[in-house]
Structure 1
Amino acid sequence: METTIWTFKLSVPFSEWAKVYDSDDVNQMHASVGIKSLFRGVSKEDPSKVCAIQQAPIGVAQKVFEENKDMIRGAGHIIESTIITAYTEQ
């Protein structure tokens, strides 16, 4: 398993982005490939900055991200601002 920490900026309010991230469609897509969302939140200092933490089989979360950039961008995620950090238990 791999834990992935995503930080990125939004072009929409956090509540608008969260509605998409928390939607049944996204939850079903994540569940179908083994992605578990552990946390998603907004920076206390910068309301346009988000952190999301997921666990999934190695490489799966980043593959889903690469394959769904248009949908992700449509939710207000500024793709170019994304910083991805992945950790494994070894």
Structure 2
Amino acid sequence: METHVLTFTINKPFAEWAKTYDASLPLQKMAGIQSLYRGMSQDDPTQVCAVMQAKPGVMEQFIADHTDTIVASGHVLESTVSNVYLAD
């Protein structure tokens, strides 16, 4: 299992981005993604962190399959910094 820590910029208010993200939770679950956390920086509301767990390759496929929805949410895709962590 991989833990993905994603940080990125949004170009819409956090509440609007979060509404779209939360609406995607059933799709994430069906894809095998477990959402652990989502929040914005206390210093800059355009900076977001999302933490999710999935098997290798699942996160990348989900992003590829749902790029239009992700971008429409306000997520500036090219700003994404992804760090992947393993338990072992």
If the length of structure 1 is used for normalisation, what is the TM-score?
0.92
1:73 and 1:7 map into 2 onto residues whose CA distance is 14
Q: Offset of 1:27 from its aligned partner?
A: 1.4
Q: Unpaired runs of 5+ in structure 1?
A: none
Give the match for residue 10 of structure 2: 10
Richer in strand (by share) = 1
Q: Offset of 1:34 from its aligned partner?
A: 1.2
Q: What is the total number of aligned residue pairs between the two structures?
A: 88
SS in 2 for 1:21: helix
SS in 1 for 2:79: strand
If the length of structure 2 is used for normalisation, what is the TM-score?
0.94
4+ residue runs over 2 A deviation: none
Q: Unpaired runs of 5+ in structure 2?
A: none
1:41 and 1:11 map into 2 onto residues whose CA distance is 15
Match of 1:27 among 16, 25, 28: 25
1:62 and 1:53 map into 2 onto residues whose CA distance is 14
SS in 1 for 2:51: strand
Give the match for residue 63 of structure 1: 61
RMSD: 0.9
Q: Offset of 1:67 from its aligned partner?
A: 2.2
Q: How does 1:41-60 map to 2 (within 5 A)?
A: 41-60=39-58
